[in-house]
Amino acid sequence: MIFKAVRDGAPYPDHHTTLKAWAEIPPRPIRLADLITTKRELALDKLLAEDSTFYGDLFPHVVEWKGGLYLEDGLHRALRAALQQRNQIHARVLVIDN
C-alpha cells in the first residue's frame, strides 16, 4: 500500500489557512506510507500533466492532527512520486492542536 489510509473527507476541523499562510510553512520530508489521504479519487489528467503544479503550490499540503498526517492537497504529486519509486515527498505541514 502506498499510503497509510485512504479517506473520503477530512476528519479535522476547518483550519481556514490561506494560500499565503501555507506558503510561509517550510516544506519537510514526509514518508508516503505515513500519509492519510482526504480524497478517494483523482483526475488522471492531473496526475499525468507535465505542468500540473504551474498555478499551484509546488509542495503538497499536509495537516497534522491527533497523531495523523492528512494529505489535504497534492494527491497527484504524491502518486507521481510513488510511480517514480520514491517513498517520500517534501510537503508543507500545518499542525492543528485540537
The answer to whether residue 15 is domain-embedded is no
The answer to the question of residue 76 being in a domain is: yes
Three-class DSSP category at 12: coil
Q: What is the pLDDT of residues 15-30, one digit of tens each?
A: 999 989 999 999 999 9
The residue length of the chain stands at 98
DSSP letter (8 states) at residue 51 = T
Please check whether residue 88 lies inside any domain of the structure: yes
In a domain, 16, yes or no: no
Query: What pLDDT does residue 49 have?
Result: 63
- pTM assigned to the model: 0.86
Write out pLDDT tens, residues 66-83.
999 999 999 888 988 999
In a domain, 90, yes or no: yes
Helix, strand, or coil here: 83?
A: helix
Nearest CA to 69 out of 26, 35, 23, 27 is that of: 35
In a domain, 50, yes or no: no
- The count of structural domains within the chain is 1
- Looking up residue 73, the CATH number of its domain turns out to be 3.90.1530.10
88: domain range?
5-10+21-44+55-95
